[in-house]
Amino acid sequence: MLGRKNKKITEYQNALIEQHVAEVENMYRKMRTWRHDYHNHMQVLAAYLEAGEVAKARAFLDEINDTLVKVDTVIKTGNTMVDAILNSKISLMNTKAIRVDATARVPAALAVADVDLCVMIGNLLDNAMEACEALPEEGRFVRIYISVKGTHLYMSFTNAAGKKQTKIGNIFASTKGADHGFGLSRVDALVAQYGGYLTRASEDGGYTTEVILPLG
């Protein structure tokens, strides 16, 4: 029974990641198309300006700007799978009035399976979003930092939080019920599986999770 449940969870996560990847790749295709049409856009603008039709030129510029906003991604890390999960989560956080500061550089090829890395990032950001949603909008924030440090991939996730939490084992106590820790336990298991290292720190006003994973 447990094996069947784990299989279903894995299949669901794989399907979700594949959907995110398809969305990001579609964005990239749209951006390449727009760049290809760049010269045509410039010719149209030049024609409007030469004819003295400034209002039409301004309207055309607004149209181009709207198109760029729709096709551009929030962040590009260098790894398509990570782009997919980060852009998906950041887009969702924007709808929840959560301020996001994200810096991420990730190698295209890693020792950690792309799906497992995205499961880690996804669960940690889901947890950060939930914590922020319990706070007034003006106090919500999430900071994301991912980079290569020597022979390791370093990830840090900090979110706004209320009072300092009590730690039980390697996970802080939650008021959201026993099931809430499932995602975080899965992160712990994956980090251990790849010989990585994870720390959590809770202070008044903030909560940080740091993950270090070997590159090879």
pLDDT at 210: 97
Can you tell me the distance from the alpha carbon of 52 to that of 58, in angstroms, rounded to the nearest whole number? 11
pTM of the model: 0.68
H/E segment holding residue 100? strand 99-104
Enclosing H/E stretch for 72 = none
Task: Compute the residue count for the chain.
Answer: 216
Q: Where are the domains of the chain?
A: 37-71, 75-214
CA 139 vs CA 126, 128, 150: distances in Å:
17, 13, 34
Contact 186, 206 (CB under 8 A): no
Token pair 């390449």 is at which residue? 32
Q: What is the pLDDT of residues 90-103, one digit of tens each?
A: 888 888 899 999 99
For 211, the enclosing helix (H) or strand (E) is strand 206-214
CATH number of 75-214: 3.30.565.10
User: What is the residue type of 192?
Assistant: A
List the one residue out of 104, 65, 69, 81 whose CA is nearest residue 21.
81
Mean pLDDT of the chain: 81
Mean pLDDT along residues 108-137: 90
